[in-house]
Amino acid sequence: MTVPFKNILGVHISAINYHSCLRLIESVITLRKKGYICVAAVHLVVECQNNPKLLDGVNKATLVTPDGMPLVWLLKLHGCKHVERVYGPILMLKLCSLAQSNNWKVFLLGGSLGQGAAMISRLALLFPKLRLVGSLDTPVKIFSKKKNGQIINQINKHKPHVVFVGLGCPHQELWMINNHNKINANTLIGVGAAFNLLAGVEKQAHPRVQRLGLEWLYRLCQNPRRLWYRYAIGNIHFMLAILVKPLWQKLRHGLRDYSPFFDR
């Protein structure tokens, strides 16, 4: 299954929706293939601008789903009619439902101390037959070589089909990029804030707020100390890049073959 993508500031954002995303994951697991999925908001795109290794690794992912509404809007502006927001927490729940139906094993990596147990309890209530084979809390997101080896061994011991990685952006993406070949699992998915939301650490914005693309403001109000730089500086960086880069292309190449918002 080939998924089209559009190049937004160098990042290959998949023109996808929940249905096609789940079908592709199902195909990967059924065929016993391996890969990793990045759930991309504006923050990840901004992080990729200054980190070539991150950019290269993200663009080698099985999918880079449009988690942020600005990315969805840009994809639609470029003619992707059937694209929809593939939001990390919702994708996680939909995939857990699919995993329950297919008897797949699921492992959770991420969260503060005790959060893994809280997540397992919550998911067990929602999906009583889901095979939750283990979890590891990660209060420290950057691991030593020894610690990383222990984490990989713990995951491999359970041989899960799906590993949900909740280390936060860009730590989870870099961890998947660096370690996916060492892990005995079919699919790694970086779901970021899903761990905090599903464990009740943070409140989720109303769907109407999400559709307006203002979830970032809702999250900022909840945790300004941790998120102010990401949203205040990162969002400005993204908007300026989206506006200025096409103008620079226009100056370089003239009006011919000029397409706003997107790299060639």
Q: What is the SS3 string spanning 129-179?
A: CCEEEEEECCCCCCCCHHHHHHHHHHHHHHCCCEEEEECCCCHHHHHHHHH
Euclidean distance between CA atoms 84 and 35, whole angstroms: 22
Residue 263 predicted with pLDDT over 70: no
Band of the pLDDT at 206, cuts 50, 70, 90?
low
Give residue 18's domain range. Answer: 5-201
DSSP H or E stretch at residue 106: strand 105-110
pLDDT digits (tens, 9 = 90+) for 151-189: 999 999 999 999 999 999 999 999 999 999 999 999 999
Q: Distance (Å, rounded) from C-alpha 177 to C-alpha 179?
A: 6
Mean pLDDT of 129-154: 94
User: Is 244 among the domain residues?
Assistant: no
Give the pLDDT of residue 264: 45
Measure the CA–CA gap between 227 and 67, rounded to whole angstroms. Answer: 17
As a whole number of angstroms, the distance between CA 164 and CA 251 comes to 44
Pick the residue with more confidence: 112 or 263?
Answer: 112
- Whole-structure pTM value: 0.85
Are 170 and 47 in contact by the 8 Å Cβ rule? The answer is yes
Q: Is residue 35 part of a domain?
A: yes
The least confident of 17-31, 118-132, 152-166, 202-216 is 202-216
pLDDT in tens, 32-57: 999 999 999 999 999 999 899 999 99
Choose between 162 and 117: higher pLDDT: 162
DSSP 203: P
Residue 231 lies in a domain: no
Q: Roughly how many angstroms between the first and final C-alpha of the chain, as a whole number?
A: 23
User: By C-alpha distance, which of 180, 164, 194 is closest to 60?
Assistant: 180
Average pLDDT score over residue span 226-237: 68
Render pLDDT for 180-190 as a digit per residue (tens, 0 to 9). 999 999 999 99
> In this structure, is residue 232 part of a structural domain?
no
Specify the higher pLDDT residue, 31 or 140. 31
Residue 40 resides in a domain = yes
167 vs 186: CA distance, rounded Å: 19
263: Cα within 13 Å, side-chain hemisphere: 12
Does residue 118 sit within a domain?
Answer: yes
Which whole-number Å values give the CA distances from 167 to 122, 175, 245, in the listed order? 19, 9, 31
Output the pLDDT for position 242.
80
More confident residue, 256 or 158: 158
Q: Looking at the 3D structure of the chain, how many domains does it have?
A: 1
Tokens of 105: 């094993």
Q: Is residue 141 part of a domain?
A: yes
At residue 228 the predicted structure's pLDDT band, cuts being 50, 70 and 90, is: low
257 in a domain, yes or no?
no
